[in-house]
Chain A
Amino acid sequence: MVQNLVPSSLRRFAKNRKAVVGVAMVVLYVAVALLAPALTPYNPTKPDLNLALQAPTLGHPLGNDELGRDILARIIYGARISLMVGLVGTGIALVGGVILGSLSGYFGGWVDTVIMRAMDIMLAFPSFLLALAIVSILGAGLMNLMLAIGIFSIPSFSRVVRGSVLSVKNQDYVEAARAVGLSDLRILVAHILPNCMAPIIVLATMRVATAILTASGLSFLGLGAQPPTPEWGAMLSNGREYLRAAPHLATFPGLAIMFGVLGFNLFGDGLRDALDPRLKNR
């Protein structure tokens, strides 16, 4: 099943122009994050007050911020922070969600009830509010930010995983594996989960976008990365004070956030369309 899915999905994906643009954006974004030191000669955290609030020039194409730091350098290094928050946050959610969701779907009964009601409670909060509450409890900072984003994304993963596990667990080959006498764990890991990968991959891609946006939002409120870390949301928040005098301070970090979020969303959309067999003939 998985083997058959890949080539046809790839073909469908390549035909989808939006998806290709999304991939290009994500690749660019990841490349910028990885190559940061090679892309700018400036130190993103070292102020030079003589250049404070300077508008874009040839030497500093995006201008300088309120402490004279090069905004381009801050955005480039900021990509690392966002990407890290996006990946680690989603990673935490992925691990937590897959474990809880598969237990819930596979065993059913009271295990299912307890886990899913707990997830329902978490889903009852608006997701940003939940992240905000978690960070407030843990305290501001980048590590806690990633934890908060991870925790608040667990319910969506666990629900998707549960649904997929439910649809797969009564298939003949699972029955067969059970008849042979394989353990529950082995059936789950070796036979069920591999066949649930498509929706998980799609969700993970989309959640990276959500994670980046939430991280920016929390940093905007001062709960995320602390100065002088070049975090896009924090840059946007600080630049806001100079919106009238020096609009470039807030504009460029805002565009950077938009770029990252849009890239992952387009990528995720494309993946969904490509991996969903029901859309095969459209």
Chain B
Amino acid sequence: MTRNRALALILILALALISVLSGCSGSGGGGKKITFALSVEPKKLDSQDVTDNPSYMVNAMMYENLVTYNEKMELVPQLATKWEGAKDGMSWTFTLRQGVKFHDGTPFNANAVKVSFDRILNPDLKLARYSLYNAFIKSVEVVNDYTVKFNMKFPFGALPQNLAHPAGIIHSPAALQKYGKDIARNPVGTGPYKFKEWVSGDHITVVKNTSYWGEKAKVDQIVVKVVPDANSRVNMLETGEADVAYPVNASDVARLQKSDKVGVIVKPSNRIVYLGINVTQKPFDNPKVRQAMNYAVNKKAIVDKILLNLGEEQLSPLGPNNWGYVAQKPYEYNPDKAKQLLQEAGVKPGTKVTLWTPDGRYLMDRQVSEAVQADLQAVGFQVEFKKWEWTTYLTELDKLAKGNHQLFLLGWAPSTGDADWGLRPLFQTGETNNYALYSNKTADDLIKKGMSATDEKERLQTYADLQKFLWEDAPMIFLYSVKQTVGVSKKVTGLVVHPLEMLYFDKIDKTK
């Protein structure tokens, strides 16, 4: 017995010693470090080949576009210094910034721009954002070392806006040659930080690019930690282990706003969160059933009680804060009407459906899905629930050919802030984010018309018509638009929370 106690004492002492020693080494590193606790792991560090904002956010630390949006949503130069559209709208010419080098030393020039865009426009590579640019760019021409010309398929006025999309990044042509598809794990751009390491499931580290062409980064490294648990993210923030946490759960916002060590930035975004419906499956091929589902879900209660008002009821297939947004007449919460519509459509009570949801990607997503499940059960569906880890979820949804998905919770925030990209990827036949497998001639025609219309009034009217049509055809359960909640340590300055749901770290700084 005494021997056991002595042994226990020695063990405890040893443990204490180890923890003290490891604590010392932990605080020993030099330079300023920002730790960013992010809820999900980026899928790939190649913005040409992903569709999710967490990937874009981390990518944007290392990469730049020709043009970009500032915080006020004004288009500003980045790797291009000026640009001009041809009078007939059939081409755009960009003058490039000189003296810029990629992280691997390759000089930035017109050829690099051409190589990057030829890559995304190459149908054989099947990159996730192929269709964004293939819709209107015909070809990219090198005029001279620092001038590049984009030829359009039809007169197209919104090219610069679309080049500001995260997928409009410029890769180092040498790195592309060297890594091929593996560029996604070995990113090389021109941005203020360069890639250091990616330990899967744990963290991604980027370090300061000391030869950056613009205002150099103020911190030496950023560690992006993957922390799926909302509570842990907030705890890390409060103990100082993390400097930025995203997102912060609705239930923690009020408490953190009173704290003197940390703050919460709450900003509107242009994101909608919706419950997608695979419209190719019975009974969802019937618009009546989809409308019934919209009447069945109490969106107001979800916004008030689960999101704690950090969102608004969704009133259009297009998110608010996007160009062309028109609010529609809400589907009021009316389970009786829902039941009646379901009966008219011949849906028997007890019809089994499955509902897929991510957990922690969007503000309170899992809780919202559970509330939707209960509302759908109340009108007679039997809803089986399945929770997914984010990257597996995306991979599974991307394998649409299997077609066995039914209802799925997802969000959409068009990174161009424009009605075209707010609607086209979700509703055009065969588009990348059209997980609903929606295909409707009226919608397709309106999308095409909106894209090629040059007159602004005509464009606005087209998108108004399109929104009204989609609202009534209801290829999704319209849920809500959501605000961004970012937890930030009070020691941190310069973090930009962008309306297009991006966090920018290029000006971030930290006091000791």
Q: Of A153-161, A242-250, A273-281, which binds chain B?
A: A242-250
Report B340-383 residues with CB < 8 Å from chain A CB.
359, 366-367, 369-371, 373-374
Give chain B interface residues in 369-421, CB to chain A under 8 Å.
369-371, 373-374, 384-387
Bound complex: CA of A66 vs CA of B249, how far in Å? 12
12 contacts between A and B (CB under 8 A): A49-B298, A49-B304, A49-B305, A49-B306, A68-B305, A226-B384, A226-B385, A227-B385, A228-B370, A228-B374, A241-B229, A245-B255
Interface size for B (C-beta < 8 A) is 26
Do B370 and A47 touch across chains, with their CB atoms under 8 A apart?
yes
B257 vs chain A, min Cβ distance (A): 13
Binding site for A on B (CB under 8 A): 229-231, 234, 249, 251-252, 255, 298, 301-302, 304-306, 359, 366-367, 369-371, 373-374, 384-387
The docked-state distance in angstroms from the alpha carbon of A246 to that of B255 is 12
Tell whether A17 is near chain B: CB-to-CB under 8 Å. Answer: no
7 new A-B pairs (CB below 8 Å) besides A47-B370, A222-B359, A242-B251? A52-B306, A140-B386, A227-B373, A238-B366, A240-B229, A244-B252, A245-B251
Interface residues of A in 225-282 (CB under 8 A from B): 226-228, 238, 240-246
Interface string of A33-72 (1 = CB under 8 A from B): 0000000000001110110110000000000001110000
**Interface residue SS majority, chain A:** loop
Q: Bound complex: CA of A216 vs CA of B198, how far in Å?
A: 33
**Distance in angstroms between the alpha carbons of A226 and B249 in the assembled complex:** 22
Which B residues are CB-close (under 8 A) to A227?
Answer: 369-370, 373, 385, 387
Q: Using CB atoms, name the residue of chain B closest to A139.
A: B386
Bound complex: CA A67 to CA B369 (Å):
11
**Option from A68, A140, A241 in Cβ contact (under 8 Å) with B251:** A241
Shortest distance from the beta carbon of B303 to any chain A beta carbon, whole Å? 10
Bound Cα distance from A241 to B305, whole angstroms: 15
Other-chain contact of A47, B249, B374, B385, B386 (Cβ < 8 Å): B374
Q: Which B residues are CB-close (under 8 A) to A244?
A: 231, 234, 251-252, 255
Please measure, in the bound complex, the distance between the C-alpha atom of A245 and the C-alpha atom of B305, giving whole angstroms: 14
> Which residues of the other chain, A, contact B366 by a CB distance below 8 angstroms?
238
Give complex CA distance A244, B251 in Å.
9
Contact with B371, one of A49, A240, A242 (Cβ below 8 angstroms): A49
Are the CB atoms of A66 and B367 closer together than 8 Å?
yes
Cα A232 to Cα B231 with chains together (Å): 19
By a CB distance below 8 angstroms, the chain B residues around A47 are 370-371, 374
Task: Point out the residues of chain B lying under 8 angstroms from A50, CB to CB.
Answer: 301, 305
B230 partner, pick from A45, A52, A67, A241, beta carbons under 8 A: A241
Question: Judging by beta carbons under 8 Å apart, are B302 and A226 in contact?
Answer: no
- Are A53 and B370 interface neighbours, CB within 8 A? no
- The chain A residue sitting closest to B250, CB to CB, is A245
A241: chain B residues at CB < 8 Å are 229-231, 249, 251
